[in-house]
Amino acid sequence: MTRSCAAVVGLALFALSFWSGIAPAHAALLYHWLQYSENGLEARAISTDQQCPAAHIDGTLMAMSVRSKPGEGYPITVCAVPVPLSAHDVRINDIPLTMPKQKPMRILVIGDTGCRLKGKVAQACNDIAQWPFRVGADISAELKPDLVIHVGDYHYRETPCPLDNKGCAGSAYGDNWDVWQSDFFVPGESLLNSAPWVMVRGNHEECDRGGKGWARTLDPYEWREETGVQGCLGPARPLLIDLGGIKLIAADVSTADEEKANAKQAAWYRDVFTSAFKQAGEGPVWLTFHRPIWATDGSSGPNLGGDNKTLAAALADAIPTNVQLIISGHHHVFEAMNYEQDLPIQLVSGHGGDELAMNVPKNPVGIVVNGMTIKAGITRPGIFGFSLLERQSDQKWIYTGYDIHARPIGICDIDGRTMACH
């Protein structure tokens, strides 16, 4: 081919990519990942360009659609493209993404990862020992999980770092891209690229906190700028995700009233969960949402539990017996609990980076939370880290809590709704 012909062909390919919505290869790319959404599995990317980067699925060039355009506080373009579960090779700008396994055997759980700046409470975001999310993300990525569940609370830098506080000096704050990069995308990048994700919304992603960034980047539902608060909406109906022999229901309980039973909210949650349980059908079912229902963080004293009264009112007598686990965060601690009553086991993995809960009783047995008595369990207050669920069968799993350097801090053998920890 002559040089002039090659130039014409190159120009034609560029024009085709432009008019088809596919950016030329190697458009500016900041981050890319796979996550489960209302449309199934989805590849997402964040770019500094107006156009989206090129995506290839099993060798076929696919146009990524613009999820959110640049806007106030967010000089980025967020892109998305559906990915068939049958796909074997997905690439963004020729960078391969880690594909899901039909039956994930190793499920990493992490939560409450951001660095807290709110009023007088100022975590030392500049000190990797005091805010070690990046260490935990890098080390947990080395464990090669098949799936990552983030149980919520990504965004914590809400107010300015106090003057003369070197521990957080220079920290961005508010609901903007600088904060979302600092709190989640920069420190979590290695883990974000290690496996597909289930993104759970926490109370720190409510619309008046970090909800605008959540809606633009991580929300599993469609983003529309003209709706809600610049695209940030209230809770949506749960996702149902097939984990190969287990159905995972991922729900948004970010705004569920904790202190009192909100009758209107409870009726809505009861309706959406009842529908999700029917959709899940028979066989083992897990729930994942941010706020636990029957667990204690010690905030109401060593013999009292103060957990979510709205969710307790909605679900106390409405959870089918095939629902075996509830996976949550919100409490900044590693916990596992089962009950005198016939309820799912409650797992909590909220020790990912934010200030830790220090008053959690080291032995939770006998504590009554929302009328339910903890029969057995384990808590490990005051230790940063993450957790791992390892499949032995669809019914049997090993749940291990790790510190930030992947040293075990607690192990539980799970069989359906029974559990033994050591």
Higher pLDDT, 359 or 410: 410
Predicted local confidence at residue 306, as pLDDT = 81
Structure tokens at 348: 């909590």
Query: pLDDT tens digits for 90-116?
Result: 999 999 999 999 999 999 999 999 999
Strand order across the 60-62 sheet:
60-62, 55-57, 90-92, 95-96
Average pLDDT over residues 51-76: 96
- Please tell me the predicted confidence (pLDDT) of residue 362: 87
The least confident of 22-36, 162-176, 235-249, 407-421 is 22-36
Structure-model confidence comparison of residues 206 and 316, the more confident one: 206
Cα atoms found within 13 Å of the Cα of residue 58, Cβ hemisphere only = 7
Beta strands in 236-380 (DSSP E): 239-242, 247-250, 285-288, 323-328, 334-339, 345-349, 368-369, 372-380
Q: Is 411 helix (H, G, I), strand (E, B) or coil?
A: strand
Q: What integer pLDDT is reported at residue 299 of this predicted model?
A: 74
Residue 18, pLDDT score: 34
Residue of 196, 194, 182, 183 lying closest to 239 (CA atoms): 196
Instruction: Check: CB of residue 286 under 8 Å from CB of residue 247.
Output: yes
Topology annotation, domain 106-421: Purple Acid Phosphatase; chain A, domain 2 (3.60.21)
Is the predicted pLDDT of residue 386 greater than 60, yes or no? Answer: yes
* Contact between residue 75 and residue 124 where contact means Cβ atoms under 8 Å apart: no
Q: Give the SS3 label for residue 309.
A: helix
Domain boundaries, the chain: 21-96, 106-421
Q: Is the pLDDT of residue 25 over 90?
A: no
Inform me whether the pLDDT recorded for 320 exceeds 70: yes
Alpha-carbon distance 45 to 77, whole Å? 8
Residue 35, pLDDT > 50, answer yes
Whether pLDDT at 7 is above 50 = no
Mean pLDDT of 7-14: 36
pLDDT average, residue stretch 52-79:
96
Q: Is the pLDDT of residue 218 over 50?
A: yes
pLDDT at 419 over 80: yes
Question: Where would I find the H helices in 168-219?
Answer: 177-180, 189-192, 211-217
Residue 235 has pLDDT above 80, yes or no: yes
Q: How far is CA 204 from CA 138, 207, 220, 255, 291, in A?
A: 23, 9, 16, 10, 11
Task: Evaluate if residue 257 carries a pLDDT over 60.
Answer: yes
Mean pLDDT of 374-381: 95
Structure tokens at 414: 């799970």
Tell me the pLDDT tens digit for each residue of 148-206.
999 999 999 999 999 999 999 999 999 999 999 999 999 999 999 999 999 999 999 99
Residue in the block written with tokens 């006998």: 366
| Beta strands 55-57 and 60-62, pairing class | antiparallel
Chain mean pLDDT for the chain = 92
The Cα–Cα gap between 75 and 78 comes to 10
What's the confidence (pLDDT) of residue 303? 59
**What does the block give as tokens for 1?**
């081919």
Question: What confidence tens digit (pLDDT) does each residue in 264-284 have?
Answer: 999 999 999 999 999 999 999
Whether the per-residue pLDDT at 10 is higher than 60: the answer is no
pLDDT at 305: 74
* pLDDT at position 15 over 60: no
Q: Is the pLDDT of residue 32 over 60?
A: yes
CB burial string 370-393: b at 16+ within 10 A, e below = bebebbbbbbbbebbbbbbbebee
DSSP strand pairing (40-47 vs 31-37):
antiparallel
The span from the CA of 159 to the CA of 174, in Å, is 6
